Amino acid sequence: MQTNQPGLTSPCYAVIFTSTRTDTDDGYAETAALMLELARSMPGFLGVDSAREEIGLTVSYWESLEAIRAWKEHPKHRAAQEHGRRKWYSSFTTRVCRVERVEMFP
């Protein structure tokens, strides 16, 4: 899924989530789908792009740092983060960024 708009016409923030999965599924796909649905329902959510090969990259876009904080602290998201640490990810890095410039083709 590609979302081209975030940051083009007004400032926004990006959360870059880089992860390496374990071999454990145990509800991973279902939770990932639920978290995507939940993120879309959050105030200030602008879009998300995602791909996984050797590593996984998910970049979500948000109107403000406050929106990112509310998403990070949502109880269902916190529970998913805890599962992620315990079983789904061997490592991950989360980077919160301010989008400074956007260029699109075409």
Which residue, 65, 51, 71, 55, is CA-closest to 97? Answer: 65
Comparison of 17 and 42: residue with beta carbon closer to its own copies = 17
Nearest approach in angstroms of CB 69 to its own copies is: 11
The token pair that represents 81 in the structure block:
């983060």
Instruction: By CB under 8 A, name the binding residues for its own copies.
Output: 1-2, 4, 6-7, 13-14, 16, 18, 20, 49-57, 59, 65, 85, 89, 91-106
Nearest approach in angstroms of CB 56 to its own copies is: 6
Comparison of 33 and 51: residue with beta carbon closer to its own copies = 51
Comparison of 78 and 85: residue with beta carbon closer to its own copies = 85
Which residue, 13, 16, 46, 50, is CA-closest to 33? Answer: 50
Nearest approach in angstroms of CB 105 to its own copies is: 5
- In three-state secondary structure terms, 14 is strand
- Rounded to 5 degrees, what angle do the CA atoms 54, 57, 59 make? 175
